[in-house]
Every structure is written in C-alpha cells, then in structure tokens.
Amino acid sequence: MRKYLYRLEFVVLKRESDIDMSATQIETQTSPTIVKVENLSKVFGELKAVDNVSFEIKEGEIFGFLGPNGAGKTTTINILTTLLKPSSGKAEVCGYDIFKKANEVRRNVGVVPQEYTADEDMTGINNILLCSDLYGIPRSDAKRHAEELLKLVELQDAAKRKVSTYSGGMRRRLELACGLINYPKLLFLDEPTLGLDVQTRTAVWKYIKTLKEEYHMTLFMTTHYLEEADHLCDRIAIIDHGHIIKVGSPEELKESIGGDVIVVNVEELEPDISPDIAKIKLVKDVKKNAEIYRIKVELGEEASPQIMDLIRSKGLHVTKISLTKPTLDEVYLELTGRTLREEEVDKLQAFRQRATIRRARS
C-alpha cells in the first residue's frame, strides 16, 4: 500500500536533486581516484556490450554497478581486471594503465568472479594456497595469510575438507578468501550474492562491510539486487545496454526522482490548510484530497513533527500519518523502464545454469 501511494506521488513529483550532499559523498570526493575509466567500449561482433562508458572510483568507497543481466557489468569487470581487451577507450586501475601495465594491475587488485572457480577436488586451504602460488607469494607468507583469510570468512573448520563437500555459501566465502590472497587495494566482486539464501547473503554483506571499514579496501561490485546496492554501495552506477545511465549515491538517486512523501489524514474536511503547510521550509509540495493531505518533503523525519504541530495549532485533529521513503526500485524502473520482476526470470536461469555446472562437476 505504501509503495502504491508512493508510486502515485513519484509520477507527479519529479525534479532535480538540490539536497545537501550525503556524508559519504563528501568523504569520497576528497579521496584520491583509484579507478579512472574514459570512453571505454567493448564490441563483440555486432553487440556493443560496453558502450562509451566513463566513470571514476574513489579510494575507500564501495562502488556498485547496478543493472539487468547482459547490461555489460561483467564485461566491464573483465576489462578492468585485464581479462578482456577493450575495443576502444582507456582505463587506469590503481594508477596503472590496464593495457600497458597489465601485470601491475593484476598484482594490485583482487577478483571474486561470478562463478565458483575453486577446484572441487582440492581442500579449501589448498585452493587458497594455489591462488597464492599464482601470485608468486612465498609459501611461508602464504600459509599465514591463508589462515587469516579462512578466519575472516569463518571457514577454519572446513579448511581441510574438499570443496566438493561445501555448501553454496561456503563456496562463495572461499571465493572471497581467494580473491583477497594478495591483500588487494581494490577488490572486484561480480554478483557476490547471486543465488545465495538470505542468511548467507547477510553474512557476505557483513564481510564486504568489514573489508571497507576495517581494512580500508576499495570495492567495485556488480549486482542486480537493488537492496544489496542500497545497503552496501556508497555510489551506484545504473547501467543498461552498455550505457551508464546515472551515477550517484543511493540517497542521491532516490532524491533525483523525488523526496519523501508524508500522507496525513485529518478529521476535519475544512479548512484547507495546504498553503500553511507549504510554508514549512522542508515541504516542497502539498496536495489535498478531501481530508487527506499528500505532502512531498525533504527529510521526512524532520518535516513530519513540524507538520503535525502546524495541523494541531490550527485546531485540526490528525487521525493517521504515514511516511514513505523512495526506494531504488523506483529509480531503477524510472531509468531502465524495467522492474525487478523482469529480472527474476534471468536469476532463475542463472541458478539453473549453476546447478547444471555443479552436477557436471560432481
């Protein structure tokens, strides 16, 4: 119901954001740039997988690529991690050109791919040690490091078990540990919670937050879960058909399509106090329909008591009040013209594909 109410509002009220910058944005604007992408394109035959994309990632932030399957998220990650060569454009990762200094880029970044890449026939710890060998980390360091990582992702107890006995969540955590073996400055996470149950997803979110907050790592993640982007990312780029449609913090994106909505029911039909409500500083628009006021505001939590006070001071009685915050759902719908429901099919397909792979491997 609340969502429905909101939908009505957001069609009517659309305006450019003039809200104060969020705390995270202020913080990241002062940080140095760690990824710089300029006019990057990748063409596969006729298909433009990534089409003239430019963006920057600041050190210490979680930057998210949000978009439907096939939008070019993984292709972008593959280019930035030197797996794919771009058709045109350039990019710098950790200060190194992805083309000329590919090996330096590889040393400085970690990758957690979408697939489960761990070797099923090997134990968890041996998988991590294999990864460290690929980075050329000496064995003595690697062993200590592997144990720390296993502790971080809470897999110490399963370290000596074969990966084929692991659950999906354990595999995902192992992938995370493998991606961290070189203690990267920048970690790429491609759909880190795809197909995971809610509990494991929460756990993965916790690790991601730990990496940012405790280890000051920069993270670049792709996702098509809106709540994930909303929960984790400092800034989000909405990408569709290889284009970046919009970049901003979750708050900014939500603000860009309209602020909070307060719906107040009062007992009395008359008088109409809309002009008075509109005078409150945070209020941007008021609409009255019978005894219901639909008020569009900035900072709903602060505006609502003021509105309540005003209504009471006019001698009216409030019978009901609700505050609706915009969600990324609406942003997504607005910008890509698609809802998340349409993505569910792909998610299922992705899951089936994974199940097939697992069966093929066992």
Partner 1 sequence: MEKTELNEQTSSENSSVQQKQNEENLAREQQPFRTRPKMSTSPLHGLWALTNRDLRKWYTNPIQLFVSLIQPIVWLGLFGKALNFGTFIAGSGASQAQQDLILKNFFGTTSYFSFLACGMLAFIVLFTSAFSGMSVVFDRRFGFLNKALSTPVARGSIVMGKILQSVVRSLVQSAIVLVIAVVLGMDTTHFTPLGIAGTFLIIFLMGTGLSALFTMLALRSGDWQTQMAIINLLNMPLLFASNALFPAKIMPTWLQDVVKLNPVSYAIDAARQLLIGATGMTSLLVDFSVMMGFAIILSAIGIVLSWRLLSK
Length of the chain: 362
Residue 25 amino acid letter: Q
The alpha carbon of residue 105 and the mean position of all alpha carbons in its chain are separated, in whole angstroms, by 23
Q: Any contact of residue 83 with partner 1 (CB under 8 A)? A: yes
Q: Considering only 16-24, 81-89, 90-98, 304-312, which stretch makes contact with partner 1 by CB under 8 A?
A: 81-89
Pairing relationship of beta strands 292-297 and 47-58 according to DSSP bridges: unpaired
Least CB distance to partner 1 at residue 297 (A): 44
Q: Any contact of residue 213 with partner 1 (CB under 8 A)? A: no
User: Of these, 150, 174, 178, 283, which contacts partner 1 (CB under 8 A)?
Assistant: 178
Which is closer to partner 1, CB of 13 or CB of 122? 122
Q: Considering only 127-135, 153-161, 223-231, 243-251, which stretch makes contact with partner 1 by CB under 8 A?
A: 127-135
Calculate ∠ Cα 84-107-229, nearest 5°: 65
Least CB distance to partner 1 at residue 205 (A): 19
Cβ neighbour number for residue 295 with a 10 Å cutoff: 27
Q: Any contact of residue 282 with partner 1 (CB under 8 A)? A: no
E-only strand ranges, the chain:
33-44, 47-58, 62-66, 88-93, 96-97, 109-112, 186-190, 218-223, 235-240, 243-248, 260-266, 283-289, 292-297, 318-324
Q: Any contact of residue 361 with partner 1 (CB under 8 A)? A: yes
Q: Considering only 32-40, 76-84, 268-276, 323-331, which stretch makes contact with partner 1 by CB under 8 A?
A: 76-84
C-alpha–C-alpha distance, residues 200 and 197, integer Å: 6
Q: Any contact of residue 136 with partner 1 (CB under 8 A)? A: yes
User: Of these, 38, 121, 213, 272, which contacts partner 1 (CB under 8 A)?
Assistant: 121
**Paired tokens of 312:** 């009471």
Cβ neighbour number for residue 282 with a 10 Å cutoff: 18
Q: Considering only 20-28, 113-121, 242-250, 290-298, which stretch makes contact with partner 1 by CB under 8 A?
A: 113-121
Least CB distance to partner 1 at residue 45 (A): 12
Question: Closest by alpha carbon to 264, among 325, 298, 305?
Answer: 305
**Paired tokens of 292:** 């219901």
**Count of residues near partner 1 by CB under 8 A:** 42
Residues of this chain that bind partner 1 (CB under 8 A): 78, 81-85, 103, 106-107, 109, 111, 113-117, 119, 121-122, 130-138, 141-142, 144-145, 148-149, 152, 178, 181-183, 215, 357, 361
